[in-house]
Structure 1
Amino acid sequence: MKAIVTGGAGFIGSHLVVELIEKGHEVHILDNLVSGHLKNVHPSAVVHIEDIQSNEAKQVIIKEQPDVVFHLAAQADVGKSILEPRMDASVNINGTINILEACHEASVKKIIFASTSAVYGDVKAKLAPENIATVPISYYGLSKLSAEGYIRLFYQLYALPFTILRYGNVYGPRQLPKGEGGVIAIFLDRIKKGQALTIFGDGQQTRDFIHVKDVVRANMAAIDRGDQEIFNVSTSSRTSLTQLIDHLQSIHGYPITTVNISSKHGDIKHSCLDHKKAVQLLGWKPYFDIYQGLQDTYSYSFRP
């Protein structure tokens, strides 16, 4: 199988590329290296340094005619989306349309799209299933939801098969310490530097933290399963920032100081996704609980 991974030099994409290559697949990467790094790239992958909004990226897909396209490249910073909604929409909506047009022209067998829990907004339900109302409270969530709509329409109009994966808060080795979604990477970076951890609000906001290796396994399962379906990729378990810090304190073994400041616009108070559908139809379930995942990520961050 030949696969193209947009954003394949980034955090999640680079882990997916490794798994694909280890399974014997030919892999091409489309990445503009704005947040990705060549040091993350598996040596057997073919790298095309292009922006997903460009005609050059489109032509790579048309020329290579991959079997599957994993579309992970995105503007994924919630705060940046609030400050620059036009840029956020350009990357996440126009960039996705460009990739979809290329997939249609290249007769790609399937596109697998990395979406987000941010499409749901501030959910009141304890667990959010895929069919709950989607009411984003950030431009990032809105742009990703819009991209999902274009993917569904491309199937209806051109029979381009798809699977949409809505990730919880992904964490793990190689994550950059920035953005709301990268709170674990930010915390570990600050712990390593001996700095205080900044908590927005009261620290009781909760997230559904999912390890990057579990996300990769969901992407791999979607190659042959889950056609024309949307799946939550999550642990279905809530972890508050206070609990997260307690776990990190236990793993680190030394005192960690914290500072509380006001919460940010666009922040979601609680987010936890119901993953039953993925378990049933993708044959997938997460391996890592939050403590195991934090141990793995801590070991990577503090490696010699």
Structure 2
Amino acid sequence: MNSQKQTLVITGSCGFVGEKLATKAIAEGFDVIGIDIKKSTNLDCRQLEINLISQDFYDKIPAGSTIIHLASLSTDSLCRENPILAIDANLRATSLALENAKKSNAKHFLFASSEWVYPEHPEVTEQRESDHLDLADLDSLYAMTKLFGESLIRSTSLVPYTILRFGIVYGPRKIPGSSAESIALKVYSGDEISVGSKETARRFIFIDDLIAGILQAASKGPDLLDTKILNLAGSELVTLDQIVSATNEILGESSVIIDSGKMASIRNPLIEEMSKILEWSPKINIRQGLESCLKAMTSDNGKGKHE
């Protein structure tokens, strides 16, 4: 329990991560204020219906709050479909959130960045928080907005901040939200699994581990965080081929991944700094995580061979 009743202001509180984070934070004794363009029926806390692109919230939250800024247009496809909205939601809203943090005398500003800020490599390459990153190395508009958002915070924030670079988040939900979940569901359904390269790999992080890391950063506070940027990702690289193999083991299937022969895409953000500074480490391995995801995606849908 959080005996000091720290207030967490969570933007994007209706999203997958936001709802889970708010629910866990409430259970651990934090006072939680959710901010989103709509209210969630799943949250038992104060919620503010605010459009961060155009509305202030500094006068609606207590001084000394910790602001966890999750709100964004959070997939590459959505950003490509609407570049202007991507810039507004991921940059303008972040700038205005920082302004509100200053006006409310916030204690700490936590920014949800992404492993997408690291360039993709065809081979395993260690990627650390201290790496020099360049927009010219990125092809994704989503990645560009996150990297520019980090620069925006570093150059303009007037409150203590921490940037958390999330790995690829996966977890139990009805509709798959990551490649890990999508591939697992295809194995379950007996669908063809065709990928550019089966050696493409990411440090997938299960939602519970992600939330534990965020709350650890919020609890420690800015005074104990000497490092401004921390990778918050899974404990190991997992290839697409390994996801198929793990799902096959869970379901007793023998699905085969079809490799199109393209170059592998690998991002490998190391988590040593996060583990050392915050004494945090992921607890859920890929098989355990996929089991949980499959249960959520396939319960009472009567789909595929595993009815």
Given the two structures, how large is their TM-score scaled by the length of structure 1?
0.85
CA gap 1:31/1:256 in 2 versus in 1, 3 angstroms:
farther
* 1:28 is aligned to 2:33: yes
What residue in structure 1 maps to residue 118 of structure 2?
120
Tell me the SS of whatever aligns to 1:269. Answer: coil
Tell me the SS of whatever aligns to 1:134. Answer: coil
In 1, Cα distance between the equivalents of 2:267 and 2:209? 18
* 1:11 is aligned to 2:11: no
1:176 Cα deviation from its structure 2 partner: 4.2
In 2, Cα distance between the equivalents of 1:153 and 1:130? 17
What residue in structure 1 maps to residue 209 of structure 2?
214
CA contact (8 A) 1:169 1:210 kept: yes
Q: How does 1:53-68 map to 2 (within 5 A)?
A: 53-55=53-55, 58-59=56-57, 61-65=58-62, 67-68=65-66
Q: How does 1:172-251 map to 2 (within 5 A)?
A: 172-174=171-173, 176-178=175-177, 182-191=178-187, 194=189, 196-223=191-218, 224=220, 225-226=224-225, 229-251=228-250
Moved over 6 A (4+): none
1:235 Cα deviation from its structure 2 partner: 2.4
What residue in structure 2 maps to residue 73 of structure 1?
71
What residue in structure 1 maps to residue 303 of structure 2?
none
CA contact (8 A) 1:163 1:227 kept: no
CA gap 1:276/1:62 in 2 versus in 1, 3 angstroms:
same
CA contact (8 A) 1:8 1:14 kept: yes
CA contact (8 A) 2:174 2:298 kept: no
* 1:45 is aligned to 2:16: no
Q: Which runs of 5+ in 1 are unaligned?
A: none
In 1, Cα distance between the equivalents of 2:109 and 2:168? 22
1:271 Cα deviation from its structure 2 partner: 0.9
Tell me the SS of whatever aligns to 1:277. Answer: helix
Deviates more, 1:121-130 or 1:135-144: 121-130
One-letter amino acid matched to 2:275 = V
Tell me the SS of whatever aligns to 1:281. Answer: helix
Q: Which runs of 5+ in 2 are unaligned?
A: 1-5, 301-307
CA contact (8 A) 1:196 1:257 kept: no
* 1:146 is aligned to 2:148: yes
CA gap 1:101/1:6 in 2 versus in 1, 3 angstroms:
same
Q: How does 1:86-165 map to 2 (within 5 A)?
A: 86-123=84-121, 126-135=125-134, 136-155=138-157, 158=158, 160-165=159-164
Deviations 1:163-196 (A, max 9, x none): 1110111101237425xxx11232344455x252
Tell me the SS of whatever aligns to 2:205. Answer: strand
One-letter amino acid matched to 1:297 = C
1:260 Cα deviation from its structure 2 partner: 5.8
Q: CA RMSD in A?
A: 2.5
What residue in structure 1 maps to residue 279 of structure 2?
283
Deviations 1:5-46 (A, max 9, x none): 11112111111111110111111111225xxx835x33x222
Deviations 1:259-297 (A, max 9, x none): 66697xxx9810111100011111111111212221222
CA gap 1:170/1:197 in 2 versus in 1, 3 angstroms:
farther
Given the two structures, how large is their TM-score scaled by the length of structure 2?
0.84
CA contact (8 A) 1:163 1:230 kept: yes
Deviations 1:230-275 (A, max 9, x none): 0001124211111111111211224546566697xxx981011110
In 2, Cα distance between the equivalents of 1:235 and 1:128? 13
**Count of residues in correspondence between the two structures:** 286
CA contact (8 A) 1:201 1:260 kept: yes
What residue in structure 2 maps to residue 300 of structure 1?
296
CA gap 1:278/1:217 in 2 versus in 1, 3 angstroms:
same
